[in-house]
Structure 1
Amino acid sequence: MKKALALLLAVCVIASLVACAGGKKESATEKSDTDTKKSGYQVSEDVPEGSVIDGVMTYIDGEDPVLKKTVAPWLDTCVLYEVNVRQYTEEGTFKAFEAHLDRLQDMGINTLWFMPIHPISETERKGTLGSYYAVSDYKGVNPEFGTTEDFQHLVDKAHEMGFKVILDWVANHTGWDSAWIKDHPDWYEHKDDGSIKSPYDWTDTAQLNYENYEMRAEMIRCMQYWIEDIGIDGFRCDHAIGVPANFWNAAVYKLKSINSDIMMLAETSATQGLTEYAFDTCYNDMLYGQALMTKGGVATSSIKDGMDVQPNYCGDSFPMNYLDNHDKNSYEGSIVGRYGDTYAPLLALSFLTPGMPLIYTANEEGYDHEIEFFEKDTVKWDDEPKYAPLIKALSKLKTGNSALASTNRSITYAEPSNSKLFVFTRNDGDNTVIYAANLGKEAIENVSFNLGVGTAKCVLHVNGDEVDTTVTEMTEKDFLGRDYAPYEFYILIAT
């Protein structure tokens, strides 16, 4: 490990973390080298600024390159796909999912996010199969999906094909069958009567206690296992805001000491505390909310609020732009019910606006179904998923034009003659991408706007169910007085 690990010191002395001799706390200087190696960290009352320790980071500074905020270069072209293994195939296994890798690769997907693959607690289980987020063993694999060897095979095959793989990580709570509850009850929060708490109304889970630094250290070691032993490429962190930022900072320090190019995605709106160091990307909840209202005819000007990268994104961190995920699908309705005909232009917008796009299981299908969360509910796949050609075209744009790099915040809004037409431009040097869409349910006529460039290639034109990827040369004149059908849109690249 890098020499900076020699700086690893604990932020405080906690009785559960130190050995006691004759009722007296053992100081860091009294701990032997053997004890230090065994525990993996030292306990000290004096924590110098800049120190990084298991479970907490006090200050982000110093010469150590791992302490510097970095974003892996591959994230600039990331097209993220959330995999619901249980529901993806009739078998619901890693092996069965492998058969879909070729199809996903052809669609332009390059990063796979697997919902939690760990064993699910049976105690207080919800439904027949339980929630993926009631984890009983952070280093185990749910036998419903296969074995650790099966998952390793899937990861290796995905890597050979050029995919990155990230895992869903549930750090806020465990399921009730976790061995931690029996072996380390002090690792959990307790009610006044001494029983362990559940967070919110998630009664199938037990709330972890982040004032316990021994628990924090073990949580980090579990995360390290998946990076170092299995070779995954990062984590999507469930309910990230429920866990102290200084834990995430320390965890990422340890993880990036193994692989500096991991992805860290936080399930929360961005905060400076999370993006200052630990997280590359956070949920763009504002854009999601504005996108939902588009179906009802929201003014296009309000969508801009969710497209401009907010100050809470520190350094090169960026938004994760989503229209759907497992929570939204299961509890707020299918994409058909939520978006209707607005889905295609909004999907394109999620690829073109600053940040990174997300596709959820069966979004390419246009799946008009709320997938069960606690029961078996296999996706019914068509031979030719409706939105696959559109996603393929958008993925090609995202991965092939630097103007659409995830870390590029450049965006310029045009002012068409009719405000119902929404037009914006992304630029990176000589690379320019233009989006022009009627996001309304009424046709608009005789609309003009300044293309901003002399000539351009139309690389994608969508009108209703027609997806045209024929490359067509266009000029300023082609956009003078043009009519637009409801939800019709163009994407152009300057030439």
Structure 2
Amino acid sequence: MKKTLLLAIVLTAFISCKDDKKAAEQPEMAQVETLAPVSDAMMENAVIYEANIRNYSPEGTFNAFTKDIPHLKELGVKVLWVMPVYPISLKRRKATGDLSIEDIKDPKEREKYLGSYYAISDYTAVNPDLGTKEDFDKLVKTAHENGMYVILDWVANHTGWDHKWITEHPEYYHKNAKGEVTDPLDPKTGKPWGWTDVAHLDYTSKVLYEPMKNEMEYWVKNHNIDGFRCDVADNVPTEFWQYAIPKLKEVKPVFMLMESEKPYLFKGIFDMGYNWPVHHMMNDIAKGKKTVKDLDGLLAKRATEFKKEDIWMNFTSNHDENAWNGTEYERMGEGAEAFAALTYIMPGMPLIYTGQEYDFNRRLKFFEKDEITHQKGKMYPVYEKLGKLKNTNAALNGGKKPAAYNRIATSADTHILAFDRENGKDKVVYIANLSAKPQAFTAPVEGEYTNYMSGQKVTLAKGQQFRFKPWEYWVLVK
């Protein structure tokens, strides 16, 4: 009897301990974020990160990248754009210069050419070099738990030459007068772009609409992604996007980014476009080819061409710029940080490309395994500060209900860019010397502010003269 009673006491204590342990674990579980569906509101204060999985780590895998997702949260990232994850075609694979892999005779030399992410051999598979579908699902789940939406890079304009459609559905492809499938052609001139490693899809007969939509829908339904970044979106007929995107939204709300700045692709189709014109203007200002006056003219022109709800992705780099035109330090020199800050403060959504947070200053190889370094230097805390401000200050809302943009006239507007953003009681002021020479100027900015990047309090008086070093900038908050 005593033994039975003792056993009951021990069991009760054991169960009680297990219950206490569960109760202790409960708050930790509660810390996992429940991600709301894509909405207009989430677009207002988001930072977007372009993830080059192959070159992010020595492993070049989903799992290696997933471990660092909490670091991206520190940078204020809310949208994770994952570059193409699909198997890459081997046939006509790009190697180096004008050579394809067939031109490389040495087997060991051939092995190092992994091809373009955008030469896809199967839309519903993953590249085994990156991991498995289960690994990808873990990436998506981890991103969601950290408050990030995941969008996949989608290439609707062309496939790799190994794609099964070439033999099973040749009617899906553009053909020349001889009936041969062609590589992509410029719709304006009819001449090849030079993308010889991919085959040009043909939407003329619309027979491709449903199959391509189904391939996109697969990722939304089966892998819970939150949208797409659509490669060369304006080379694909608008009617396809008008057909496919509403079908995707029947599954769940999705966020759609287009590699384009065409106005007709915005309303009712895409949420955000590339701000190429402003990006190129920043490059030209950095090189001394243009001035702030030219930027003012461009912004005024675009305000008449687009609607306020048209969202722009602002950037100092991306995979194309880095690979073909150079890093932000090559193109923008000592002005890189001032322009990076501008991408956060002006209307729109700022982009960080893989490696920018680590001051990575080299062109990543596009057709081979390469990798960034992970030493935190100058830019990590800069992006961290700017990300926090973007996430939390309504004056920087840049989505479909953007905060006001008010240009502030200065005594040196050729080289000094000054403007404020306002939303209710929130106000942020950006003042920058976007030139390689010191500038003295006055600006009608008065009152007490905090210089956000330095944390110093500043009191500005009427008629006060400012002296800014080359590429010096201030972000002032009330």
Could you tell me how far 1:482 is from its partner in structure 2?
A: 2.3
SS state at 1:441 partner = coil
Contact 2:447 2:461 (8 Å CA) reproduced: no
- Looking at structure 2, the residues matched to 413 and 252 of structure 1 have their Cα atoms a distance apart, in angstroms, of 36
1:232 aligned to which of 198, 201, 225: 225
Partner AA of 2:262 in structure 1: A
Q: Check the 8 A contact 2:119/2:159 in 1, yes or no.
A: yes
When residues 178 and 245 of structure 1 are mapped into structure 2, their CA distance, relative to the original with a 3 A threshold, is same
Q: Distance in 2 between matches of 1:220 and 1:314?
A: 28
Q: Deviations over 1:293-350 (max 9, x none)?
A: 1222332121224545544544622111111110110001122111110001100001
- The verdict on how the C-alpha distance between 1:292 and 1:353 changes in structure 2, with shifts beyond 3 A counting, is same
**Matched residue SS, 1:411:** strand
Cα distance in structure 1, aligned partners of 2:131 and 2:462: 55
* Partner SS state of residue 207, structure 2: helix
Distance 1:133 1:385 in 2: 32
Give the structure 2 partner of residue 214 of structure 1. 207
Deviation at 1:478, TM superposition (A): 8.6
Alpha-carbon deviation of 1:252?
1.1
Q: Indicate the SS of the match to 2:244.
A: helix
Query: 1:270–1:283: 8 Å Cα contact kept in structure 2?
Result: no
AA in 2 matched with 1:291: M
Task: Indicate the SS of the match to 1:364.
Answer: helix
2:419, 2:173 → 1: CA distance?
Answer: 49
Q: 1:296-335 alignment to 2 at 5 Å? A: 296-297=287-288, 298-308=290-300, 309-314=302-307, 316-335=309-328
Match of 1:404 in 2: 396
Note the 1:147-186 alignment, pairs <5 A.
147-186=132-171
Q: Is the 8 A contact 1:166 1:236 kept in 2?
A: yes
- Equivalent residue of 1:232, what SS? coil
1:100-140 CA-to-partner distances (Å, cap 9, x unmatched) read: 21222112222211110011111111121010001111111
C-alpha distance in structure 2 between counterparts of 1:479 and 1:233, whole Å: 50
**Which letter maps to 1:110?**
K
2:403 and 2:423 in contact (8 A); partners too: no
Give the letter aligned to residue 119 of structure 2.
Answer: A
- Percent identity reads 36
Match 2:431 to one of 430, 433, 436: 436
Q: Determine the C-alpha separation between the residues in 1 that align with 2:298 and 2:233.
A: 20
Q: Quickly say closer, same or farther: Cα 1:479–1:371, change in 2 above 3 A.
A: farther
Q: Secondary structure at the match of 1:374?
A: coil
1:282 aligns with 2:265: no
2:46 and 2:180 map into 1 onto residues whose CA distance is 44
1:223 maps to a residue whose letter is M
Secondary structure of the structure 1 residue equivalent to 2:126: coil
Output the aligned Cα RMSD: 1.7
Aligned residue type for 1:124:
R
Deviations 1:331-389 (A, max 9, x none): 0112211111000110000111111111111112222211000011111221x232011
Bigger radius of gyration: 2
Question: What does residue 76 of structure 1 align with?
Answer: 44
Match of 1:344 in 2: 337
Cα offsets for 1:408-439 (capped at 9, x unmatched):
16211111222332201111122211001111
Summarize the alignment of residues 27-426 of structure 1 with structure 2, pairs less than 5 Å apart: 72-127=40-95, 128-199=113-184, 200-260=193-253, 262-271=254-263, 273-297=264-288, 298-308=290-300, 309-314=302-307, 316-382=309-375, 384-407=376-399, 408=402, 410-419=404-413, 420-426=415-421
The whole-number CA distance in structure 1 between the counterparts of 2:67 and 2:418 is 39
1:177 and 1:267, CA in 2 relative to 1: closer, same or farther beyond 3 A?
Answer: same
Residue type at the aligned position of 1:295? A
Q: Distance in 2 between matches of 1:239 and 1:293?
A: 24
CA 1:477/1:455 → structure 2, altered by over 3 Å: closer, same or farther?
Answer: same
Aligned residue for 1:213, secondary structure, equals coil
Give CA-to-partner distance per residue, 1:469-489, whole Å, 9 cap, x none.
x2x433332981221111111
CA distance in 2 between counterparts of 1:276 and 1:140 reads 32
Which residue identity is paired with 1:488? E
Q: Is the 8 A contact 2:234 2:262 kept in 1?
A: no
| 1:270/1:312 contact within 8 Å kept | no
Indicate which of 462, 475, 478 corresponds to 2:459.
Answer: 475
Unaligned stretches of 5+ residues in structure 2: 1-37, 96-112, 185-192
Residue range with higher mean Cα deviation, 303-312 or 247-256: 303-312
The alpha carbon displacement at 1:214 in A equals: 2.8
* 1:275 and 1:312 in contact (8 A); partners too: no
Any idea what the Cα deviations from partners look like across 1:423-476, whole Å, max 9, x if unmatched? 01111122211001111111123x22111x64333212xxxxxxx2x2x43333
Structure richer in helix, relative to its length = 2
| In 2: Cα distance, 1:479 partner to 1:91 partner | 57
Q: Structure 1: which 5+ residue stretches go unaligned?
A: 1-69, 461-467
Give the Cα separation in 1 of the matches to 2:475 and 2:129.
43
Quick check: 2:395–2:421 contact (8 Å CA) kept in 1? Answer: yes
- 1:248-289: CA deviations, max 9, x gaps? 1111101111112x2111101232x20121111111111011
Matched, 1:493 2:464: no
Q: TM-score when scaled to structure 2? A: 0.83
Paired positions, count: 411
- Counterpart-to-counterpart distance in 2, 1:396 and 1:301: 30
Q: 2:171 aligns to what SS in structure 1?
A: helix
Q: How far apart are the structure 2 equivalents of 1:349 and 1:274?
A: 25
